[in-house]
Structure 1
């Protein structure tokens, strides 16, 4: 699935990176705890989170996550958008809660697991 397809499925909007939205993702991870993201995320993951602070961008950069979609109508600050641009990370958002966003992506065909088994 491409990032563009994921954002469309979620009735979302881009905050930056729409020019790179053809990027392929193989799985998704929904988490608000960045420690969980660091412990369990695999590669080519789209991160769904309701946490809106610079630590999300830093965590994504560390794990080579190329797209973050904020749920529950959360919006990143301009500083976060600038950080994401520098790190080549796409930011988008949806008004959907995390549970429904993950479910829609699963129904849309994004079925590979986004995390390592415990």
Structure 2
């Protein structure tokens, strides 16, 4: 699924990465603990989270996350957005909760990182 499709499904607002809307996301995962992301995320996946600290961006870069989706309409700090830009990681915000955002993506074909895809 392309980032553009994820944006449409989640009614998301892009904060950076508008030039990567055709990039393909292979799966999705949700976590607020970055240790969980390090343990389970896959290169090219979408990371859905409610956390807006630089630790999220650094973890996403290490893992090779294809896009980050911030849930619950949170407005991340400018430094967070700038770091995502510098690492060339697409970043969007959705007003949906973490649970609903994951469900909407799953219903539209994104599978999780637990081997079910």
Q: What is the TM-score normalised by the length of structure 2?
A: 0.93
The 5-angstrom pairing of residues 66-105 of structure 1 reads: 66-105=66-105
Kindly indicate whether the alpha-carbon contact (under 8 Å) linking 2:41 and 2:65 is maintained by their aligned counterparts in 1.
Answer: no
Unaligned runs of 5+ in 2: none
Counterpart of 1:107 in structure 2 is 107
Counterpart of 1:42 in structure 2 is 42
Q: 1:77 to 1:84 in 2, by over 3 A?
A: same
Kindly indicate whether the alpha-carbon contact (under 8 Å) linking 1:20 and 1:90 is maintained by their aligned counterparts in 2.
Answer: yes
Root-mean-square deviation over aligned CA pairs = 1.4
- How many residue pairs are counted as aligned between the two chains? 116
Unaligned runs of 5+ in 1: none
Q: 1:115 to 1:42 in 2, by over 3 A?
A: farther
Q: What is the TM-score normalised by the length of structure 1?
A: 0.92
**CA deviation profile, 1:79-104 (whole Å, cap 9, x unmatched):** 11111111110110101001100000
The separation in 2 between residues aligned to 1:77 and 1:22, in whole angstroms, is 26
**CA deviation profile, 1:1-23 (whole Å, cap 9, x unmatched):** 00110011001110011111111
